[in-house]
Amino acid sequence: MSPLSYGLWLGVAFGVMSCCAYTAAAVAQRRLAVRVPEPLTGGHQIGALLRHPLWWISLVFNGGRAGFQVAAVSFAPLTVVQPLGVLVLVLGIPWSARLAHRRVSRAEWWGAAYTMVALGVLLAVTVTGDHGGVLSYGDSVLVGVGAVVLLGAVAWVAGRVPSRAWRSYLLAGAAGVAFGVSAATVKTAVGAFGEGVLAGLTHPSSPATAVIAVFGLLLAQAAYQGMDLGAPLGITTLANPVAAAVVGVALMGETYAGGWLGGVVAVGCALVAAHGIRLLTVASTEEVEAVPPGTRGT
């Protein structure tokens, strides 16, 4: 086996491990949402999350996901690693259903299939090339402040949306944006630390990564409150690479690989994914409404 193919397969292996860790984190967060079902709008609910072991378990798995993802893109191009993200839906939906002692519904299977196919095609034809640099000092400040303001605004709006489904949509999308942007800032931070510990600690990408990542975890947790795993996880999985690609093309010198044809395919895939997420949402809403209110925290 040539060194190139060895590195490629090693990158794929790390990518699969990252998906498994992310799936475990998402399932833990969904189980935590069952135990703390109230919307995360006050300090009491946040405190309840921080006191629950499942929150810290999800943090460990999310940390593993981030580490495996960094290793994956070190050995394989984004065009190979990013499409592996569809495995999160393949693993997460039946896993979550099994822990809830129920079967995966037909609507969920179809919804997952539509979403996975759409996301796989979307990433295969429209992801950025594997060339590019890092964020400049000024762009790191711009991205960090801009992301925090955007995420805070979306969270504020979501907290005032009466529909449980749309609240979950907004929060899950914001979480995906947070994870995608933090991928760009962490890449920049790693480069800064390569110039020395002091340079890394004082570079704005380092605190931006920490703040945005924590914001993303809380947004993802809030997206699972009152919804099953499928719909919010599908939206987060879709928004993550899109946000990373936008930052990469706009500010990091990466190139858009899709061209005009990729743009047309992207629109079509977005419509198919929207249909799949709608099916997942219908299944999620029916399952939540079927549970008596007094038993949701058990």
Per-residue pLDDT tens for 110-166? 888 888 888 778 777 766 655 567 889 999 999 999 999 999 999 999 988 888 888
Burial class (CB in 10 A: 0-12, 13-18, 19+), 255: exposed
Residue 232 β-bridge partners: none
Q: Which domain holds residue 166?
A: 3-295
In the chain, how many domains are there?
1
Whole-number Å distance between alpha carbons of 136 and 6: 33
Per-residue pLDDT tens for 23-34? 899 889 888 888
Q: Which two tokens stand for residue 5?
A: 């193919």
Closest among 101, 164, 39 to 298, alpha carbons compared = 101
Do 238 and 273 meet the contact criterion of CB atoms below 8 Å apart?
A: yes
Per-residue pLDDT tens for 86-116? 778 778 878 777 777 778 788 888 888 888 8
Three-state SS for 154-203 is HHHHHCCCCCHHHHHHHHHHHHHHHHHHHHHHHHHHHHHHCCCHHHHHHC
> Read out DSSP for 218-273?
HHHHHHTTTS-SHHHHHHHHHHHHHHHHHHHHHHS---BSSHHHHHHHHHHHHHHH
Q: Which two tokens stand for residue 153?
A: 């605004």
Vertex 111: Cα angle to 110 and 113 (nearest 5): 65
Closest among 245, 247, 273, 271 to 258, alpha carbons compared = 245
pTM score over 0.85? no
| pLDDT greater than 60 at residue 293 | no
